A and B are shown apart, each in its own frame.
Chain A
């Protein structure tokens, strides 16, 4: 709220000063004035919607590069350990094969199952110590790092990729400290703009439909409040779009896909379903998916902000109505009780 107030005030102030400076530039157009005007316009633009959106995207890209350079070249001993365990298991299996006769199926299978069980326990231990099933350099590719920095400053926090080094952790904390206010600024600005647009569209549509029905009756120029059901429809349509999109790409079923969309847009980010993060089917196309997911989430956050902005108004009106309803109800009750008492007294 305060950021949006600051931005709005700055934009207003710059607009006013721009008006005065254009008046001044008619009189004297010295270069210093021009430079100052240019700077002021730049600052005002950076505080507008496009500027803030660009700032957020730029910050995310910057963060992605930073995290790639910090986390990308880290030695990962657990990969080595898992490979060693796999080799040991392989040796065990070969020993089982040479010791047991190939014609004795049950004995061979018992031995193989025992070796595999050991291997499985070893893998479980390694995974819980931080192994994530990826080879070196694969996990911190650019789209994945972009997704990570988005999940940090939007406070989603999927947790499928986490910094492992000391410097990575410190960088995450610092990145979040500066990123979260920036994101809140984006949220507020985007919400205001989208809410204005949506309100304008809704008003136009409403007026059109009203004109068809009763052209001659005078229309009141009252301000039309967008009902909350319209917001809910928009949100529902956005979630449904995301559901179909992710379900088609990731071969999730629709429930999983809805679950992912809702938990992401609500900033919960449980992280058991992340697009392009499944290690079982790591095809080549998952990097574009991550980028599209990035765009989907940023737009969705803007839409959430819009709905928040519109619903707040509606909820406030509704609360006032509810309050007056309740007071009316109480007074009615009291009146009835008084009337009852008087009738009893009269009897």
Chain B
């Protein structure tokens, strides 16, 4: 492979050297075509492309699951009806033929056993088969429900309030997850990188009030950073100092001060995460009339991809003009944005934690050496 590539490059350079000036236009055309294809591929792997890809994959998955699971709704209603009819037949058999009707106690005991069995089957139908009573069935696999299901599969949240019942649905879930999870990981790493970069830029520009003043100060007193940042606020002073220490030479040699060398403090990342969870809790508790604890429990369980599925927003709270339930869509948007934000926070915290670890190790080593 390596040899082949080298050979081709050599022959290409020879051909390009031998080519006259008249070939420039056509060469530009091929260049353009190549650039176009390369741009397209780069775009598909860039941020907007990957967002589109994830959303498109989710929408395709939701249509697929809707089509697969449409038939399964009627069968579970039939199952419950069948169980009830069986129970009635059993009771009739017991009442008319086997039991003496004059002892009420015996009759009651027998019927109680029968009723317990019936109750178990009803509980099982509701819990495991998604039976919701006879009048309101079939709304679980609406478009928005299937959308939330597809998203919960590829994000590995897995609420489980909606689960496939048919054989093909289960098979499709396995394949869909195997293909979708790498895609979502790609989304997380890409968007996390992007958000981390933009957040660092914003932090450097706004919170540390960096501009030309900082650069001048940095140029003049690059080695004496404690004095230079003495005028800053106390919290920001240490961070800017440490970041400048770690990359002093690099940022001085740049003509523009690089916001990517700024280290964002860990507490800010934690505050962002807690704030996002709290904001979601307030939002959901207003929509769904949960209390604040339930709301934050839901947000935390969802964003940490645990996803118990005991508390899930109802679909009919927010509806569009056509009557399509939108709250699942809002929930999905909240989740996608939130997971990207968490990826961003981990991205930002990583270097800080490594730095802290190293400092801690140094301090420990110094203490041990001192005592000896």
Contact = CB atoms under 8 A, between A and B. Distances in A.
B159 A258 contact: no
Given A159-B309, A324-B1, A334-B30, A86 B84 contact: no
Interface stretch (B65-73, B150-158, B201-209, B227-235): B150-158
Interface stretch (B54-62, B113-121, B243-251): B113-121
A156 B306 contact: yes
B92 A269 contact: no
Interface stretch (A44-52, A88-96, A295-303): A88-96
Given A133-B124, A338-B23, A262 B177 contact: yes
B1 A108 contact: no
Nearest to A321: B1
Given A155-B304, A269-B307, A127 B123 contact: yes
A145 interface: no
A173 interface: yes
Given A86-B115, A159-B308, A123 B84 contact: no
B19 A338 contact: yes
B238 to A, nearest CB: 21
Contacts of B26: 337-338, 341
A109 B8 CA distance: 87
Interface string A311-328: 000000000010011011
Contact of A255 (B31, B91, B171, B365): B171
Contact of B357 (A9, A256, A268): A9
A176 interface: yes
Interface of B is mostly: helix
Interface residues of A, number: 83
Contacts of A172: 297, 301
B168 to A, nearest CB: 10
A226 interface: no
A268 B96 CA distance: 51
Contact of A131 (B123, B157, B361): B123
Interface string B119-134: 1111110111001110
Contacts of A55: none
A78 to B, nearest CB: 11
A268 B170 contact: no
A116 B307 contact: no
Contact of A109 (B92, B119, B152): B92
Interface stretch (A162-170, A198-206, A210-218): A162-170
Given A133-B127, A159-B159, A123 B4 contact: no
A122 to B, nearest CB: 10
Contacts of B353: 2, 6
A230 interface: no
A124 interface: yes
A268 B156 contact: yes
B101 A338 contact: no
A25 interface: no
Contacts of B131: 124
Given A94-B104, A113-B84, A324-B5, A133 B123 contact: yes
Interface residues of B, number: 88
Nearest to B294: A169
Given A255-B171, A342-B19, A121 B158 contact: no
A285 to B, nearest CB: 19
Nearest to A103: B96
A109 B2 CA distance: 83
A269 B163 CA distance: 11
Nearest to A168: B297
Given A9-B361, A90-B108, A342-B23, A123 B122 contact: yes
B305 A267 contact: yes
Nearest to A120: B122
A88 to B, nearest CB: 11
B8 A332 contact: yes
Contacts of A116: 84, 87-88, 118
A5 B356 CA distance: 13
Given A94-B104, A270-B160, 13 more contacts: A86-B112, A86-B119, A94-B108, A94-B111, A113-B85, A116-B88, A170-B293, A172-B301, A271-B163, A271-B309, A279-B127, A325-B1, A327-B5
Of all A-B residue pairs in the complex, the 9 with the closest CB atoms, nearest first, are: A157-B306, A268-B158, A159-B308, A271-B160, A133-B123, A162-B310, A272-B163, A159-B309, A127-B126
Interface of A: 1-2, 5-6, 9-10, 13, 17, 36, 82, 86, 89-90, 93-94, 97, 102-103, 105, 108-109, 112-113, 116-117, 119-121, 123-124, 127-128, 131-133, 151-152, 155-159, 162, 166, 169-170, 172-173, 176, 180, 255-256, 258-259, 262-263, 266-272, 278-280, 321, 324-325, 327-328, 330-335, 337-339, 341-342, 345
12 contacts: A90-B112, A93-B91, A108-B92, A127-B127, A158-B160, A159-B160, A169-B293, A259-B173, A333-B30, A333-B34, A334-B30, A341-B23
